[in-house]
C-alpha cells in the first residue's frame, strides 16, 4: 500500500544540489504537508513524485514501481496533479465540465469519442464532490480563481488516482476561495479513504484539516518528517524558516504567526 518511497534521493541541476539525501515514505490514506521556504526543493520533490523527473542519486518508487525501470506514462495515469501554474494553459472558452472530462484522458483538449456515459457520470460526481456541480456549464474564463482551482482538483480526481499531488494549490486565493478549496480537499479525503496526498505550500493556514503527516524541507534536505502534530510545531517550523514563530492547531487547522520579539 506504499504510494511513495524515496531512498537517499538527490537531484542536481547545473552542479547545484536541489535535493540531497532525501529519504521519505508515504502510505495509502496518508495526507502529507510539504513545507519549506522558497528554494527548499519542494517543487522538485513533487516532480519526482509525479514521475515527471528522475533522480540523479538514490531511488524513487512511485506506486510500487521504481523510476527508471517502469513506463512512467502508465504511472502518471494513476497520479492526480493540481498545480496553480497550469491555470494559464486552460482555454478560457472551455466549460468546467469539458475541463474535467479531459482528466479522464490526460489530455489538454477533449477526446469526445472516449467519453461514454460512465465517464460523463464520473465528471458529474467529482464536480459535485468539490462543490462545483452548479458550474458545470460555466466557461473557465468566467469563473473565479477559487472556482478554477476546485475545477482543476476535480479534473485531477477523474481517473480515480491513488496519489494526489498539490503544488501551491491555494496560492492567490482570497479567504472564501481558500476555505472552499480546503473543504473540497477534506471531502475528497473522506470520499476516498485509500487516496494518499502531498500538499506543498509555504503557509500552514493552507493545509486541510485532514492533514496527517508533514515533511519540512530546508535547502534540499529533510529537516524533520512524521506525524503532523509532532512536526508542525513552533520549534521545528521556526528552525525550518529561520524565523521565530508560534504555531497552533485548532479543529484540525494550523496557524502560524511571528513572535512579538521578532517584530521589534
Do 166 and 35 meet the contact criterion of CB atoms below 8 Å apart? no
- Residue 38 carries which DSSP code? T
Do 26 and 198 meet the contact criterion of CB atoms below 8 Å apart? yes
Distance in angstroms (rounded) separating the CA atoms of residues 200 and 33: 6
Mode of pairing for the β-strands spanning 245-250 and 253-258: antiparallel
Record the pTM. Answer: 0.93
Kindly tell me if the per-residue pLDDT of 48 is higher than 80: yes
Beta pairing partners, 248 = 255
Contacts 24+ apart (CB under 8 A), 171-176: 171/84, 172/84, 172/145, 173/145, 173/146, 173/149, 174/145, 174/146, 176/146
pLDDT at residue 264, rounded to an integer: 53
- Residue 139 carries which DSSP code? B
Q: For the residues 35-61, what does the mean pLDDT come to?
A: 95
How far is C-alpha 106 from the geometric centre of its chain's CA atoms? 17
Helix (H, G, I), strand (E, B) or coil at 249: strand
Distance in angstroms (rounded) separating the CA atoms of residues 206 and 26: 20
Distance in angstroms (rounded) separating the CA atoms of residues 185 and 201: 14
What phi and psi, each to the nearest 5 degrees, are found at residue 217?
-110, 130
**CATH architecture of the domain with residue range 1-72+193-264:** 3-Layer(aba) Sandwich (3.40)
- In sequence order, what are the residues at sequence separation of 6 or more whose Cβ sits closer than 8 angstroms to the Cβ of residue 262? 243, 244
Helix (H, G, I), strand (E, B) or coil at 51: coil
Do 240 and 216 meet the contact criterion of CB atoms below 8 Å apart? yes
Distance in angstroms (rounded) separating the CA atoms of residues 3 and 75: 11
Tens-place pLDDT, residues 119-162: 999 999 999 999 999 999 999 999 999 999 999 999 999 999 99
Closest to 45 (Cα-Cα) out of 211, 226, 230, 215: 215
pLDDT at residue 15, rounded to an integer: 84
pLDDT band at 171 (very low <50, low <70, confident <90, very high): confident
Amino acid at each position: 500500500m506504499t504510494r511513495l518511497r524515496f531512498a537517499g534521493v538527490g537531484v542536481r541541476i547545473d552542479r547545484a544540489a536541489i535535493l540531497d539525501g532525501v529519504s521519505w515514505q508515504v502510505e495509502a490514506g496518508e495526507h502529507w504537508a510539504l513545507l519549506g521556504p522558497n528554494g527548499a526543493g519542494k517543487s522538485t520533490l513533487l516532480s519526482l513524485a509525479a514521475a515527471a523527473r528522475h533522480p540523479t542519486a538514490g531511488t524513487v518508487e512511485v506506486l510500487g514501481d521504481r523510476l527508471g525501470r517502469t513506463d512512467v506514462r502508465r504511472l502518471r495515469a494513476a497520479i492526480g496533479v493540481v498545480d496553480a501554474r497550469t491555470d494559464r494553459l486552460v482555454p478560457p472558452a472551455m466549460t468546467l465540465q469539458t475541463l474535467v472530462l479531459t482528466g479522464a484522458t490526460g489530455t489538454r483538449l477533449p477526446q469526445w469519442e472516449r467519453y461514454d456515459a460512465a465517464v460523463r457520470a464520473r465528471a458529474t460526481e467529482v464536480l459535485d464532490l468539490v462543490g462545483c456541480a452548479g458550474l458545470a456549464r460555466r466557461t473557465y474564463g468566467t469563473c473565479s480563481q477559487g472556482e478554477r482551482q476546485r475545477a482543476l482538483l476535480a479534473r485531477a480526481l477523474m481517473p480515480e488516482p491513488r496519489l494526489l499531488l498539490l503544488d501551491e494549490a491555494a496560492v492567490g486565493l482570497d479567504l472564501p476561495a481558500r476555505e472552499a478549496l480546503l473543504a473540497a480537499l477534506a471531502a475528497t479525503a473522506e470520499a476516498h479513504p485509500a487516496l494518499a496526498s502531498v500538499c506543498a505550500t509555504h503557509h500552514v493556514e493552507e493545509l486541510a484539516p485532514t492533514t496527517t503527516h508533514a515533511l519540512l524541507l530546508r535547502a534540499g534536505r529533510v529537516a524533520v518528517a512524521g506525524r503532523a502534530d509532532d512536526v508542525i510545531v513552533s520549534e521545528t517550523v521556526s528552525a525550518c524558516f529561520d524565523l521565530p514563530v508560534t504555531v497552533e492547531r485548532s479543529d484540525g487547522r494550523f496557524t502560524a504567526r511571528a513572535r512579538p520579539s521578532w517584530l521589534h
